[in-house]
Structure 1
Amino acid sequence: MAYKFATQTMGTEPLLDDLLDYTSDQIFFISMARTWCSSDSKTAYLLENDEHSPPKARIERSLSNFRAFAKTFNCPMGSKYAPIKTCSLWGNFWEPA
């Protein structure tokens, strides 16, 4: 939903010097993935004490089922982040129009 909203409402924003090599869409996905970054010790703790999937799995599973991610980063069809078969719980609701 955040991606759909961002692609429909955001105009061209000035980029920070360190991010000039990335598109706005790429920066969106990098920011999303950074939300789940954690150290190995924190991941080990979460595996023992949290019912949710570990951070790495949250990133990899969600992005591998999101065609907009594969398109944004030019992932070849059949690769880790552009599998032939994906899980489509919400249909194409999350994809931008």
Structure 2
Amino acid sequence: MNAPYALPAELTIYTVGDLHASLIRDLPAAESALLLDASQVTDIDSAGLQLLLALAQACEHRGQAISLVAPSSALIQASTALGVQDLLTPNQGAAS
């Protein structure tokens, strides 16, 4: 099992560029699910959600599952507010 990649506390327009570069560099294609530790996310905006959705879509195109481990309340609230909670946290709520 892969160790989860820890997401930073801030996932906003100010940080997603660097995070995107880091994800591309540090996360090689894997045969197993991509695990993202989302427990420390305290500040997230639509740019942060957009990055996570793009990452989920890229994984889907590669046939790789993606799973958010322990999504923070901030992440859950933001994804619910924008109506994308089932796309980001399928294991936390209703099946998508």
TM-score by length of 2: 0.32
- Give 1 or 2: higher helix fraction: 1
Larger radius of gyration: 1
TM-score by length of 1: 0.32
- Give 1 or 2: higher strand fraction: 2
